[in-house]
Structures are given as C-alpha cells and as structure tokens.
Amino acid sequence: MTPDETVSEFMARVCRFDLDGACELVTDDIEYDNVPLGKNYGPDGVKGLLGPMVDNLDEVDWVIHRQIADGSTVINERTDRFRMGGTWMELPVVGIFEVDGNGRISLWRDYFDMATFNEQLATLTGAQ
C-alpha cells in the first residue's frame, strides 16, 4: 500500500472498531500525539486511548474532506463523528501521519480545538 492507502485503511479499521487490525498498520514505537490531550506510544498506547472511546460509542465515522500525501507524509482534514444513542458529536480535526519504509504508521498527530471537543462531549453525554 502507498502511505495514502495505509492511512485510509488505518482510519477505516478504527471506524469499524477493529483496533487490533488498525494497530497492525503502526510501528511498535508509534508516537500518537493527540495534541490537546498528550502523547501515547506504541500500539498499546493507541489502543489505550482509543479503546475506552470505542467501547462507549455506537458508531464512529471519520469524514475526510481533504487528504494529501507527499512521500511518506500524509495530511488530512476531516470531521470525526461519534454517535452514542441518537446523538452525534462532530469534531473538526487535522491529522498528520508519517509512514515508514515498511508501510507502517510511525507518527500520528491530531490537532483539534479542546473547547469544541468539550462542548461536543457535553452534548453527547447530556452533561450541562
């Protein structure tokens, strides 16, 4: 797979709640930097952050608006959508990925606005 295809497949697997399958596409020392929330390392770090999220959701849909690849770097602009019950949370995100020579993601860095995240989370959970 090309770096562009690797990132697209990785995201599709996460949206299917297949975290083990998604982590087959990352390096053993991946740096997952969810910028407002902090860094996690390795497949266990990725699963440690994403696992509790997908365990509490009914559906995940990451809508990619633009995705570009330049060599081993892939950048996408997307809306990350999460559904719990009948309520959707929508979060604008920019992601940057580095794919190594073996076709595995070695860096995943997401940028989003924490205030928007907190507002959307309150909507999703019914908190005021």
**Longest CA pairwise span in the chain (Å):** 47
Q: What are 26-45's pLDDT values in tens digits?
A: 999 999 999 988 899 999 99
80 catalytic? Reply is yes
User: Which pLDDT does position 127 carry in this prediction?
Assistant: 60
Query: Low-confidence residues of the chain, pLDDT below 70?
Result: 127-128
Say if domain 3-125 classifies as CATH 3.30.230.10.
Answer: no
DSSP state of 103: S
Q: Are 48 and 39 in contact (CB under 8 A)?
A: no
Q: Which of 28, 80, 100, 113 is catalytic?
A: 80
- Among the listed residues 82, 72, 78, the one whose alpha carbon sits nearest the alpha carbon of residue 110: 78
Q: Write down the pLDDT at residue 120.
A: 84
Residues paired with residue 86 on neighbouring β-strands, in sequence order: none
- How much is the pTM? 0.91
CA angle 115, 56, 120 (to 5 degrees): 20
Q: Per the residue annotation, which of 18, 20, 100, 110 is the catalytic one?
A: 110
Joined tokens for residue 78: 């997307």
